[in-house]
Chains A and B, each alone.
Chain A
Amino acid sequence: MSLPRPTLAAVNPWLYGVALAVAGVLAVLLVVDLVRDRAAQDSHFVGLAVVELLMLVQLVGGVVALARTEREVEGAVFVSYLVTNALVPVVAAFLALAERSRVGTTILLLGVATVAGLEVRLWDVWGGGGA
């Protein structure tokens, strides 16, 4: 009985944790913006950039780990989640910059929620093939 080595995990637990935490904090801040009826603060876009950076690292790390792993991972699903998560923050930011109002804040909130949701799915897909 050996536990899976975390260092070899495509969904690195640290990166996963940090991504979820940043997304969670961002979501709270965005809800505050929504309640106060204002456009997303500039600092929130910086937060989104951090999420994007994490997703890019995860995309590269995930593809490499997928190529090396012996596990039965649904490759197409896994990679499509990785790619989607790297694209969502960018698209959300562009749309939100075009609507600097509650609308933009809502778009960012949707984007952050999507990233968090897909992170959870990524974790499942990677672990689902049997550890």
Chain B
Amino acid sequence: MAAVPDASPPAHPLSEGWGRALVFGYGLFAVAATGRSAVQLGMEPQKAPLAYSLSLLAAVLYLVATTCLLLGGRTGWRVAGLAVAVELVGVLSVGTLSYLATDLFPDKTVWSHFGQGYGFLPLVLPFAGLAWLRHTRPRRDREAGRDRRDRDG
């Protein structure tokens, strides 16, 4: 990918190319997780408070990631990175715990068993997201820094 050096980032670089597929994927899961937590919390919130709060957290993270991808820009990139990182930690820890400590999760979350009920996409999404964010990382100061190092060294 030949980047135009020192060009200010385009208006929506995060939601183009593979970013568009990510917007679709994250959008789907934003809807799915929001729906799931709304049903769970609306029907019987006492049943599995931990699982339901995690569903809600997942919903918020997916919503934030989708929004940030669509908004783009430096701040969008940063916040998306944070959301996706937390998501990765969440899916890995909840996925592991749902196998090891089944009594913690009387009901399922999006992340249970590494997202088995959702074709393991919840496990794939954060890796795809991080790869995409790495690819689209704002270049200006990084490249400027590298240039300076090259000159000085």
Contacts and interface: CB of A to CB of B under 8 A. Distances in A.
Contacts of A46: none
A80 B20 contact: no
A99 interface: yes
B123 to A, nearest CB: 15
Interface stretch (B22-30, B97-105, B108-116): B22-30
B20 A117 contact: no
Given A84-B31, A113-B119, A117-B119, A77 B20 contact: no
B20 A99 contact: yes
Interface string A55-74: 00000000000000000001
A84 B35 CA distance: 11
Given A76-B39, A80-B35, A113-B119, A98 B24 contact: no
Interface residues of A, number: 19
Of B18, B20, B23, B24, chain A has the most CB atoms within 10 Å of the CB of B24
What is the predominant secondary structure among interface residues of chain A facing chain B? helix
Given A84-B31, A103-B17, A110 B24 contact: yes
Interface of A: 74, 76-77, 80, 84, 88, 91-92, 95, 98-99, 103, 106-107, 110-111, 113-114, 117
Given A77-B39, A99-B20, A110-B25, 15 more contacts: A84-B31, A91-B27, A92-B24, A95-B24, A99-B17, A99-B21, A103-B17, A103-B18, A103-B20, A106-B21, A107-B21, A110-B24, A110-B28, A114-B28, A117-B119
